Structure 1
Amino acid sequence: MILMKDIIREGHPTLRKRAEEVQLPLSEDDKKLAQDLLEYVINSQNDEMIEKYDLRPGVGIAAPQVNVAKRIFALHFDEESGENLSMIAINPKIVSHSVEKAYLSSGEGCLSVDRAIPGYVPRYARISVKAFDAEGNEFKMRLKGLPAIAFQHELDHLNGVMFFDHINPDNPFAEIENAIPIARETEE
C-alpha cells in the first residue's frame, strides 16, 4: 500500500525526468504498481482511510511520484464528485484536443508539492485519449472538465513537467484566453 512517505516531493530528480514507455504485456511488477497507484487514489478519497493512514486526498497519481520513471498513472473520481471514472493508464497519449482551454478556478495541487502555489493552469477543455489498461488492452475515451484536467496533470508527470510550470509567472491569475473556469473540491 502506498503511503505519503512513499511519494517523492518537489525537487526530487525523478519528477523532472521523462518516464519510459512500459513494455507490454505488463510484468507482474508493473501490474502491481498500477494497482497500487489506483488503490492510493481510491483510499485517499475515503475519510476513514485518510485518518487511519494520514493520506492526502487526490484524484490522480503517477508512477514517477513514487520514484518509478514509467509511463503509468491512475485516476479515480467517485460518483459524489459528479464524475464516475476510475482508470489505470499505461503509455497514455492525447490523440486530439479542443482549441478551447479550461482551468481550475481554485488552482491545482499535487501530492508531490507540499506548498500552495496560486495561479491558473491552462489545460485543454476536452481531450481524446488512448492508453492501455492493467491487462494490456488498449482503450480510447473522450474526457472533459475535471477528468480532462486531471489526465493532463498526470500526463505532465510522465513528461517531467510540474503543474506550476504552466502558471504565468508575471501574473498567476491572468485571464486565460478562450478558457472556461472549472470549480473543484479535491487535490490532484
Structure 2
Amino acid sequence: MSIRPILTAPDARLRQVSKPVETVDGELRALMDDMLETMYDAPGIGLAAIQVGVPLRVIVMDLAGKDEEPEPRYFVNPEILDPSEDMNVYEEGCLSVPEYFDEVERPARCRVKYLDYDGNEQILEAEGLLATCIQHEMDHLEGVLFIDHLSRLKRERVLKKLKKEQRLAAAS
C-alpha cells in the first residue's frame, strides 16, 4: 500500500466524469487499499478515485471515530437508489478543497447499490452522516465538488483562495 497525492481544486481532473469499473481484480483492490491509506493519512472520512487522479467509479470511506476500530467501506460502481425527499444539512469539507467547510443540504436517506471489495453486489440502506458522505463522494464521480452546491459567490471566493495558495506554494 502507498499514499498517493490528492488533487486539489481547481485541478481540471477533478471535473472528469469517472468511468465504470469492468472487473474487481487484484489491481483494483490495490488501488482501493492505496486510497484507504491515503484517506487515513490526510486524514479524511471518504475518498473517490478521481481525487487521486484515477477516473474510475470507486469510493472508499470510514466513518469510525479516532478511538473506534476502523470500519473501512469500499464502493465500486455505486448507484443511489430511492433518495428520500426529506433533507439533512451537514457541514461538509473535502480533501480536494482543503481547509474549507460549509453547510450542504442533501437527501437524509438513500439506498446504495454497489460492488464490494470482492466484487459482490450489495445494497446498503444509508442515513445521516453515512448518506451524506456517500452522496458527497458520488458527486466526485460526476465531476462535482461540494462547493458546487454553494452560492456562486462563495464558490468563486474559495477557488480564488485555493489558486492563490497554489501560486504561493509553487513560488517557494
Counterparts of residues 59-138 of structure 1 (less than 5 Å): 59-78=45-64, 85-104=71-90, 107-117=91-101, 119-138=102-121
> 1:149 and 1:29, CA in 2 relative to 1: closer, same or farther beyond 3 A?
same
> 1:120 and 1:79, CA in 2 relative to 1: closer, same or farther beyond 3 A?
closer
CA RMSD of aligned residues (A): 2.3
Quote the offset at 1:9 in angstroms.
0.8
Give me the TM-score of the superposition, normalised by structure 2.
0.80
Aligned length: 154
Residue aligning to 2:151: 168
CA deviation string 1:113-156 (max 9, x = no partner): 12425x32111100111100121100001011111100001000
More helix by share: 2
Helix, strand or coil: the match of 2:78?
strand
- Asked if 1 retains the 8 angstrom alpha-carbon contact of 2:94 and 2:100, the reply is no
Q: Does 1:148 align with 2:131?
A: yes
> 1:17 and 1:81, CA in 2 relative to 1: closer, same or farther beyond 3 A?
farther
Read off the aligned partner of 1:78 and give its amino acid letter. Answer: A
> 1:75 and 1:126, CA in 2 relative to 1: closer, same or farther beyond 3 A?
same
Helix, strand or coil: the match of 1:114?
strand
More strand by share: 2
Residue aligning to 2:16: 17
Q: Give 5+ residue unaligned stretches, structure 2.
A: 156-172
Structure 2: distance between partners of 1:12 and 1:112: 9
Residue aligning to 2:3: 2
Quote the offset at 1:72 in angstroms.
0.2
Structure 2: distance between partners of 1:126 and 1:85: 20
What percentage of residue pairs aligned between the two structures are identical? 34
- Asked if 1 retains the 8 angstrom alpha-carbon contact of 2:108 and 2:132, the reply is yes
Give me the TM-score of the superposition, normalised by structure 1.
0.74
> 1:9 and 1:171, CA in 2 relative to 1: closer, same or farther beyond 3 A?
closer
Quote the offset at 1:171 in angstroms.
8.4
Structure 2: distance between partners of 1:121 and 1:81: 27
Structure 2: distance between partners of 1:114 and 1:87: 23
